[in-house]
Amino acid sequence: MARRKKIYEGKAKILYEGPEPGTIVQYFKDDATAFNAEKKDVIDGKGVLNNRLSEFFMTGLNQIGVPTHFIRRLNMREQLVRSCEIIPLEVIVRNYAAGSLSKRLGIAEGTQLPRPIVEYCYKDDSLGDPLVTEEHIAAFGWASQQDMDDILSLALRVNDFMSGVMLAVGIRLIDFKIEIGRVYEGDFQRLIVADEISPDSCRLWDIETGQKLDKDVFRRDLGSLTDAYSEVARRLGVLPKSNVTKPTLIN
Ligand code: 5GP
């Protein structure tokens, strides 16, 4: 059997060369890290859940005309995606104050923001992904003004889609992070949503109880991460069949 070529291994995913040119196989690991990998653990089943959830969100985005890298899910832990050139920015959209925004500006977590706020961080683990402005992005050539206009529009469309989908199952989308990739089509380049969209990269709070259903459960030691992610998957109807409770003789 031929060994696959590993292109990149990150904290939560491995990328392998895909079966056709321009494709990549994205493998979701069970590893969880936080605080720039100072806190680490292996969470049984996390990769399976994130593979399913990212498939669900990316498929929905593709269906409403927001281009993403997602092609199809291959198996429990892997999906086929379009290869793209990742723009070295984390694009964060916030609807409610939480996390680093609350710390930075002294706004209580859970405070609704006057409008969605989009922030950019420079993707560099050794620097702890620092917050940057459009001035830095333009000056260092990480993205052009046209790219920035497209990135803002993609980020806000993802926010509207994700907020609506989550609201429908009783979950508030507090904030999220996406990554954007560049693909070339003949003489043109296009920006697409890449990486993953999952509870690893979003803050999701139950609307009724405020219970956290995202990676903060791991960051802040609030209980079982797989229980939280399974709850999100269950509400969205994307739980893998093997995780569904088997019927017994009495039900
Ligand atoms: P904060 O800046 O408050 O730490 O994070 C804002 C949002 O972006 C949260 O939903 C958080 O999960 C996500 N986020 C920020 N940085 C990263 C990162 O390096 N990896 C992942 N998976 N999500 C991130």
96 and 68 part of one domain: no
- Please report which confidence band the pLDDT of residue 250 belongs to, taking 50, 70 and 90 as the band edges: very low
**d(CA 151, ligand 1 centre) in Å:** 17
Ligand 1 in reach of 100 Cβ (< 6 A): yes
Q: How far is Cα 72 from Cα 160, in angstroms, rounded to an integer?
A: 23
Strand pairing of 39-42 and 23-28?
A: unpaired
In contact, 7 and 86? CB cutoff 8 Å:
no
Ligand 1 in reach of 212 Cβ (< 6 A): no
**d(CA 99, ligand 1 centre) in Å:** 8
From 177, 213, 216, 220, mutation site for ligand 1 pocket: most ligand atoms within 8 A of C-beta: 177
Q: What is the mean pLDDT of residues 174-196?
A: 97
Domain containing 18 equals 6-82
Q: What is the mean pLDDT of residues 189-214?
A: 98
**Residue 114's domain is classified under what CATH number?**
3.30.470.20
Tens digit of each residue's pLDDT (9 = 90 or more) over 225-249: 999 999 999 999 998 565 545 454 5
Ligand 1 in reach of 159 Cβ (< 6 A): no
Q: What is the mean pLDDT of residues 193-214?
A: 98
- Residue 250 in any domain: the answer is no
If one counts the domains in the chain, the total is 2
118 and 71 part of one domain: no
121 and 103 part of one domain: yes
Give residue 53's identity as a one-letter amino acid code: L
Tokens for 187? 């003489």
Tens digit of each residue's pLDDT (9 = 90 or more) over 64-90: 999 999 999 999 999 999 999 999 999
- Residue 249 in any domain: the answer is no
The pLDDT score that the predictor gives to residue 249 is: 53
Q: Atom of ligand 1 at shortest distance to CA of 119?
A: 2
- Residue 181 in any domain: the answer is yes
The pLDDT score that the predictor gives to residue 242 is: 59
DSSP string, 182-233: EEEETTEEEEEEES--STTTEEEEETTT--B-STHHHHTT-S-HHHHHHHHH
**d(CA 250, ligand 1 centre) in Å:** 44
Q: Please say if the pLDDT value at position 208 is more than 70.
A: yes
Ligand 1 in reach of 215 Cβ (< 6 A): yes
- Residue 69 in any domain: the answer is yes
Does the predicted model carry a pTM greater than 0.85?
Answer: yes
From 92, 124, 205, 229, mutation site for ligand 1 pocket: most ligand atoms within 8 A of C-beta: 92
- Please report which confidence band the pLDDT of residue 2 belongs to, taking 50, 70 and 90 as the band edges: confident
In contact, 170 and 235? CB cutoff 8 Å:
yes
33 and 97 part of one domain: no
**d(CA 90, ligand 1 centre) in Å:** 8
Q: Please say if the pLDDT value at position 8 is more than 60.
A: yes
From 201, 213, 214, mutation site for ligand 1 pocket: most ligand atoms within 8 A of C-beta: 201
**d(CA 208, ligand 1 centre) in Å:** 23
Mean pLDDT of the chain: 95
Ligand 1 in reach of 200 Cβ (< 6 A): yes
183 and 209 part of one domain: yes
